[in-house]
Chain A
């Protein structure tokens, strides 16, 4: 029963929840409440084709969109009617497009699939997970895309971090030269720089995580409003945070160490420009 129902013609009705006894009920997409100015108790006419005579139905509920990624960009409304009412409207007779089956538990699922396929002529049963894989192909593509963008971003960040660390450390070349001249070993100086780099990286990671969480919230709010969906677009999970922090600290440490090595490897007097 997935044929689109065309052209609803809302009929104004001042109902106080007293349903006319013969009229069937319909649950509409919640967006229709705002877009078409409908309310529970209103009467609407559903038809199978534009211009064709329809069936008057009373709005008994508004349904929220599901957080289904494949639905997110689709503007069409979804309405729900009783099976028999829709069969009558479409003159479908005693036919359906598919069944959904709930089993007691997951172990019963495979047995049910086999049993149905052996008995139900003209039908084929599939576990829902298999269907999800097929319909999830779109999001597999988007995931790969996001991952590629992520890799490029990390690469850019790594270069940027290395550059900044190099600049920071080079700014202090005279200090470093002085420390070396007064007898501190190369290792001691390197360690001091690396510790400082680690502190900066950790602080940056902390601030960045906070910023990321804020941006994620903003992104979700924006797209949920744009597409009018409860779908969560951006999710900041503990493992995402852990990955981001670990990467930042490792990159920061690595960059600081490289910069320190570079500078402490040169003779102190050279650093002083002599």
Chain B
């Protein structure tokens, strides 16, 4: 009967209850979004790094992979040494460069990645095949920018003179594949070509150099153990496991995590205040009723129970609606942040996990419970005779 009384009390003033539920729903939505934001980036970044099965990344000492234009020389010796480390299954070196691709109205910059096609982890083929010497795999954005299709040829060069409209060291390559490039923005023109082709360009400036390498460890081996061994073998490079990379990314994305924490806390506080205020006013309005219930023998604990249940019901209803609303707003906010230039398409800022929903709802229900406690306690402690007299006078 207490639950029925709680529901009846809420239904007595539908407009007020509806408004409170709306307020709690918005607070829950914001809370859910912030919970998703706090962990989303790290999750999707980790998934991105793990996408191709490489657990370790190597880069020039003191840098992060592709964070700078630095390269490592004597690359073939380095790769061989790393491949010989116990526990290493595959080493996939790559070299990044900015090349020029002329077109009718001038030229565009194209990101070029030199890879060893058989072991590379930078792209997945959507169409065609892996490139051999003299061939490239292009991203859809590159094909569109250059008005090319699979099977066409494309001219790529190391330099472009805008006055003379001429290119330096131009070579013609056939497009044999279309690739989805994991670590670059979807709108970025990218071509992948055999590492040796790229190293041979730029008049030898890139000879035997790489920008980074990805390492896949053998099954059953510990990542940290192998990473440490690589570090001892190749002191010229920085060795980064996926976990370390994620943690470095975390540092850079601390702003979003802090924002998530602050806004999430504010949302929770707002939800709490709303329920507390509503319950306080609701109790104040029902002093007489509560006094009568106490007079006819209803225990104080039951009054407390009823009021706390009312607060909980509000939280639950508002919370459930808020979860749905939160998922919608998260999609919208993720769409906004997804427009960051150069952001790989796989990176999401708001990643939903069922655990997030439970966390948000749980926090809100907890807040709703506590919010109802003080007004409930006051109600239960009413001086009954005084309250009845005041009700009679009123």
Taking beta carbons and an 8 Å cutoff, which residues of A are in contact with B? 2-4, 6-7, 49-51, 73-76, 117-118, 120-124, 137-138, 141, 144-145, 148-149, 152-153, 155-156, 159-160, 162-164, 166-168, 170-171, 174, 222-223, 226, 262
Contacts and interface: CB of A to CB of B under 8 A. Distances in A.
A53 B336 CA distance: 47
Contacts of A145: 333, 336-337
Contacts of B159: 122
B101 interface: no
B341 A138 contact: yes
A4 B68 contact: yes
A163 B161 contact: no
Contacts of B254: 226
Nearest to B349: A145
Given A50-B62, A51-B236, A171-B285, A156 B69 contact: no
Contact of A166 (B16, B164, B253, B336): B16
A148 B23 contact: no
B118 interface: no
Interface in B236-286: 236-237, 251-255, 258, 263, 267, 270, 273-274, 277-278, 281, 284-285
Contacts of B363: none
Nearest to B67: A76
Interface in B56-96: 60-63, 67-70, 72-73
A164 B333 contact: no
20 contacts: A2-B69, A6-B60, A76-B68, A117-B162, A120-B163, A122-B161, A138-B340, A138-B341, A141-B339, A144-B339, A145-B336, A152-B29, A152-B30, A153-B30, A153-B263, A164-B274, A167-B277, A167-B281, A170-B13, A171-B285
A156 B26 CA distance: 6
Given A6-B62, A51-B236, A137-B341, A124 B162 contact: yes
A174 B287 CA distance: 14
B329 interface: yes
A4 B23 contact: no
B358 interface: no
Contacts of A153: 30, 263
A4 B70 contact: yes
A50 B16 contact: no
A4 B19 contact: no
B15 A166 contact: yes
Nearest to B282: A167
Contacts of B15: 166, 262
Given A2-B69, A145-B333, A171-B281, A159 B19 contact: yes
A228 to B, nearest CB: 12
Q: Which one of A117, A118, A155 has the greatest number of beta carbons of chain B within 10 Å?
A: A155
B1 interface: no
A31 B336 CA distance: 33
Contact of B164 (A74, A121, A174): A121
- Interface SS of chain B: helix, strand, loop or mixed? helix
Contacts, number: 124
Contact of B16 (A73, A141, A170): A170
Nearest to A161: B23
Contacts of A50: 60-62, 72, 236-237
Nearest to A125: B162
B163 A117 contact: yes
A141 B20 CA distance: 33
A223 B255 CA distance: 8
A163 B274 contact: yes
Contacts of B104: none
A4 B66 CA distance: 12
Contact of A141 (B162, B255, B274, B340): B340
A141 B29 CA distance: 22
A163 B333 contact: no
B171 to A, nearest CB: 19
A73 B336 contact: no
Contacts of B20: 163
Given A7-B61, A159-B26, A167 B336 contact: no
Q: Which one of A6, A162, A167 has the greatest number of beta carbons of chain B within 10 Å?
A: A167
The 6 closest A-B pairs by CB, nearest first: A4-B68, A50-B61, A156-B26, A73-B252, A167-B281, A159-B23
A75 B248 CA distance: 10
B26 A152 contact: yes
Interface in B7-27: 13, 15-16, 19-20, 22-23, 26-27
Interface in B161-211: 161-164
B339 A159 contact: no
B296 interface: no
B54 to A, nearest CB: 22
Contacts of B337: 141, 145
Nearest to B394: A174
Given A3-B70, A144-B336, A159-B22, A164 B277 contact: yes
A150 B61 CA distance: 42
A223 B258 CA distance: 10
A49 B384 CA distance: 84
Nearest to B340: A141
A155 B16 contact: no
Given A4-B70, A122-B163, A138-B341, A160 B63 contact: no
Contact of B73 (A49, A148, A155, A222): A49
A123 B159 CA distance: 11
